[in-house]
């Protein structure tokens, strides 16, 4: 090993302080330090800090923060940030193909809790590489969506604009950042029009990613990606470079069996010595277990190295307090603040939540106004129809289920016995053949009006509903409202259904199929803390149609609450 003994090593200082306990880090980062120690002892690997310090000095002298509360202030790197940059650039190995020593680490996985400055840090690093790296270097910022990719690009551009020296030799347009200033045209030198290097942005949804030739690729928030189709074209675009650099920076997320899950499995195999990836720097800020999160706040810095300087203690304490009593907040905080992977399809309701009051007689609502909801199911097996009624501030639902005759024979023995009992008790209507006859659904709503005078104010239906059925309902005078089954549409109604069930403000008449559907329902959560209903893992053959119509009815109610309550109270 060859070491630059004249320069102080931030990496060695950081490693020593972490191992002594002066700085708390998780076991997985300590495992990476063990690998780096092996490099330091390897005579074939050089440890030279000059390239790293060149970029550290560039960031601290040329880059400024661009957002409150640090806007306009110099970007002074913390020790953990300097150590990270030094780890990337300081280890050099001889490359027979290139014929010289090159940077060892070409792939970087950086996992850290939210609001610890990961995007500004890698943005500053990208800008430093643009100026300190080879002439003609092309840098690409990417993410799962264009908005997230733009965050990194705008961070780079804001730092560029904050520095008169950098702004003077560059220009920006809708395509990216380029060398050469239009108002101060020069034709010579690295920072002139002659240098065709660029910084651009791209998202997973952008087409034509192949065919690019880049030197640095940075992908933000990879936890949202379901597979590698977005990142592989970027990684392959680095293949012509002598010293490519590929960043993946992220927090943990909620996508089950997604791209990050696979990467983390491989990363942990590398850290455990089960797999060799000599070019992969794995820098994970993680907790050692969930228990310490709730019992010892001093350990929070393991996932949040910027806690107390970048991220506020008061903010994290407030998040933890809310998480103790809120299931969705708990999952969100554990994943995003502490990098503890959460099942995005966790159970939604407890037995106590699903318990309801005594049964009611639909005769009590003769002449009432109602909100209708229908889930016709694209697979054509089970369908659900429901009306939501109001009395004394409480919601009451009356419902019917529908199934094709041929589907009954495909059920498991346990489920078939349930379905046959439900059919015998008149809770489920059977259609001849292989598909539901949706005329039965229309007839059920019409019968409610004819027998009990119950009038539907509006009827919410899902997007899979047959067009001709919607037209049939409209011909009978029903006002139909289409409901999209996406995060934004279903999140708040689903949360409100749970709250109302817990408060005993929803009475679903102890309907056994409703109870069965609720038991089969999990809540899936995304990175915006929005939720939507899915089947509990391992219950793919079960049904949640009744849950969907309950949520649909709640959605229509929330969107039309004032007008509907005026009808209810005025009848």
Put residue 392 in one of left, alpha, beta given phi > 0 → left and psi -120 to 50 → alpha: left
Give me the pLDDT at residue 205, please.
54
Q: Both 318 and 377 in a single domain?
A: no
Q: How far is the C-alpha of 509 from the C-alpha of 145, rounded, in Å?
A: 44
The total number of structural domains that make up the chain: 2
Which tokens is 75 given?
């970007």
Q: How far is the C-alpha of 144 from the C-alpha of 66, rounded, in Å?
A: 24
Judge whether 344 lies within some domain.
no
Q: Both 286 and 433 in a single domain?
A: no
Q: How far is the C-alpha of 18 from the C-alpha of 224, rounded, in Å?
A: 31
Judge whether 341 lies within some domain.
no
Q: How far is the C-alpha of 89 from the C-alpha of 53, rounded, in Å?
A: 9
Hey, which residues does 158 pair with through a beta bridge? none
- Residue after which a domain boundary falls, among 336, 370, 387: 336
Closest CA to 137 of 247, 241, 246: 241
Q: How far is the C-alpha of 505 from the C-alpha of 496, rounded, in Å?
A: 10
Q: Both 189 and 218 in a single domain?
A: yes
Q: Both 247 and 395 in a single domain?
A: no
In this structure, are residues 135 and 197 in contact, taking their beta carbons and an 8 Å threshold? yes
Give me the pLDDT at residue 447, please.
96
Judge whether 564 lies within some domain.
yes
Q: Both 274 and 200 in a single domain?
A: yes
Q: Both 526 and 491 in a single domain?
A: yes
Q: How far is the C-alpha of 201 from the C-alpha of 141, rounded, in Å?
A: 4
Q: Write down the residue that tokens 């309701």 correspond to.
A: 349
Q: Both 325 and 391 in a single domain?
A: no
Judge whether 509 lies within some domain.
yes
Q: How far is the C-alpha of 143 from the C-alpha of 190, rounded, in Å?
A: 29
Report helix, strand or coil for 432. Answer: coil
Give me the pLDDT at residue 312, please.
95
Judge whether 151 lies within some domain.
yes
Which residues neighbour 365 within 8 Å (Cβ) at sequence distance 6 or greater? 389, 391, 396, 398, 452, 454
DSSP symbols for 35-91: HHHHHHT-TTEEE--HHHHHHHHHHHHH-B--STTSTTSB----HHHHHHHHHHHSE
Which tokens is 224 given?
């949202």
- Residue after which a domain boundary falls, among 287, 312, 336: 336
Judge whether 4 lies within some domain.
no
In this structure, are residues 143 and 219 in contact, taking their beta carbons and an 8 Å threshold? yes
Radius of gyration (C-alpha) of the chain in whole angstroms: 30
Q: Both 412 and 474 in a single domain?
A: yes
Q: Looking at residue 370, which CATH number applies to its domain? A: 3.30.420.240
Helices (H), 183-295: 232-236, 259-271, 291-295
Q: How far is the C-alpha of 142 from the C-alpha of 247, rounded, in Å?
A: 10
Q: Both 324 and 446 in a single domain?
A: no
Judge whether 5 lies within some domain.
no
| CB-neighbour burial class of residue 567 (10 A; exposed 0-12, middle 13-18, buried 19+) | middle
Q: How far is the C-alpha of 310 from the C-alpha of 240, rounded, in Å?
A: 37
Q: Looking at residue 144, which CATH number applies to its domain? A: 3.40.50.300
Report helix, strand or coil for 195. Answer: coil
Closest CA to 217 of 106, 351, 295: 106
Q: How far is the C-alpha of 483 from the C-alpha of 489, rounded, in Å?
A: 7
pTM of the model: 0.78
The gap between the terminal CA atoms of the chain, to the nearest Å, is 87
Helices (H), 340-387: 351-354
- Residue after which a domain boundary falls, among 273, 301, 336: 336
Q: How far is the C-alpha of 32 from the C-alpha of 241, rounded, in Å?
A: 26
Residues of the chain with pLDDT under 70: 1-6, 186-187, 204-211, 344-345, 378-380, 465, 538, 571
**pLDDT tens-digit series, residues 326-370:** 888 998 999 999 999 877 667 788 888 998 777 899 999 999 999
Closest CA to 140 of 154, 128, 126, 151: 126
**pLDDT tens-digit series, residues 161-185:** 999 999 999 999 989 999 988 777 7
Q: Write phi, then psi, for 443 (nearest 5 degrees).
A: -60, -35
Helices (H), 241-390: 259-271, 291-295, 313-323, 327-336, 351-354
Torsion of CA 510, 514, 516, 521, to 10 degrees: -130
Q: Write down the residue that tokens 């119509």 correspond to.
A: 549
Judge whether 202 lies within some domain.
yes
Q: Both 316 and 362 in a single domain?
A: no
Q: Both 332 and 480 in a single domain?
A: no
Q: Both 330 and 383 in a single domain?
A: no
125: containing domain: 10-336
The helix or strand, by DSSP H or E, that contains position 345, with its residue range, turns out to be strand 345-347
């Amino acid at each position: 090993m060859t070491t630059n003994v004249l320069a102080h090593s931030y990496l060695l200082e950081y490693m020593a302080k972490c191992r002594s306990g002066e700085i708390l880090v998780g076991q997985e980062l300590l495992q990476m330090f063990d690998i780096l120690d092996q490099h330091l002892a390897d005579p074939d690997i050089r440890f030279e800090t000059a390239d790293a310090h060149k970029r550290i000095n560039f960031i601290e002298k040329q880059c400024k923060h661009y957002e409150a509360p640090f806007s306009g202030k110099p970007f002074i790197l913390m020790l953990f940030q300097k150590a990270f940059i030094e780890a990337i650039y300081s280890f050099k190995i001889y490359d027979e193909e290139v014929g010289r020593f090159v940077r060892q680490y070409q792939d970087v996985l950086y996992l850290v809790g939210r609001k610890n400055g990961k995007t500004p840090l890698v943005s500053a690093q990208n800008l430093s590489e643009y100026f300190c790296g080879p002439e003609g270097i092309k840098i690409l910022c990417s993410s799962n969506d264009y908005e997230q990719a733009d965050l990194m690009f705008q961070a780079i551009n804001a730092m560029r604009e904050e520095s008169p020296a950098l702004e003077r030799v560059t220009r920006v347009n809708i395509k990216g950042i380029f060398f050469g200033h239009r108002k101060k045209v020069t034709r010579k030198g690295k920072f002139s029009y002659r240098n065709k290097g660029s910084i651009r942005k791209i998202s997973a949804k952008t087409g034509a990613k192949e065919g690019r030739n880049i030197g640095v690729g940075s992908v933000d928030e990879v936890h949202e990606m379901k597979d590698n189709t977005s990142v592989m074209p970027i990684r392959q675009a680095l293949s012509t470079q002598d010293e490519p650099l590929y960043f993946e920076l992220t927090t943990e997320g909620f996508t089950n069996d997604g791209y990050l899950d696979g990467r983390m499995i491989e990363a942990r195999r590398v850290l455990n010595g089960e797999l060799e990836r000599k070019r992969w720097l794995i820098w994970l800020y993680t907790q050692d277990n969930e228990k310490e999160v709730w019992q010892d706040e001093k350990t929070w810095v393991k996932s949040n190295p910027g806690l107390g300087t970048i991220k506020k203690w008061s903010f994290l304490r407030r998040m933890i307090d809310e998480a103790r009593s809120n299931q969705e907040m708990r999952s969100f905080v554990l994943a995003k603040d502490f990098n503890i992977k959460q099942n995005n399809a966790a159970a939604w309701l407890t037995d106590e939540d699903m318990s309801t009051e005594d049964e009611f007689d639909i005769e009590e609502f003769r002449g009432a106004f109602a909100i209708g909801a229908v889930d016709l199911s694209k697979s054509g097996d089970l369908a659900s129809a429901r009306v939501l009624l109001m009395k004394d501030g409480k919601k009451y639902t009356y419902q019917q289920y529908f199934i094709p005759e041929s589907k009954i024979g495909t059920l498991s023995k346990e489920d078939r016995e349930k379905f046959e009992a439900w059919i015998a008790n008149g809770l489920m209507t059977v259609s001849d053949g292989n598909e539901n006859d949706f005329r039965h659904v229309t007839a059920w709503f019409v019968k409610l009006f004819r027998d009990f005078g119950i009038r539907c104010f509006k009827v919410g239906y899902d997007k899979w509903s047959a067009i001709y059925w919607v037209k049939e309902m409209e011909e009978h005078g029903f006002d139909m409202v289409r409901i999209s089954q996406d995060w934004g549409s279903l999140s708040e109604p689903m949360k409100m259904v749970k709250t109302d069930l817990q408060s005993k403000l929803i009475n679903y008449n102890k309907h056994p199929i409703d109870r069965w559907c609720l038991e089969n329902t999990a809540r899936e959560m995304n990175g915006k803390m929005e939720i939507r209903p899915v089947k509990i893992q391992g219950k793919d053959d079960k049904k949640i149609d009744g849950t969907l119509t309950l949520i649909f009815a709640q959605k229509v109610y929330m969107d039309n609450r004032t007008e509907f309550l005026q009808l209810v109270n005025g009848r």
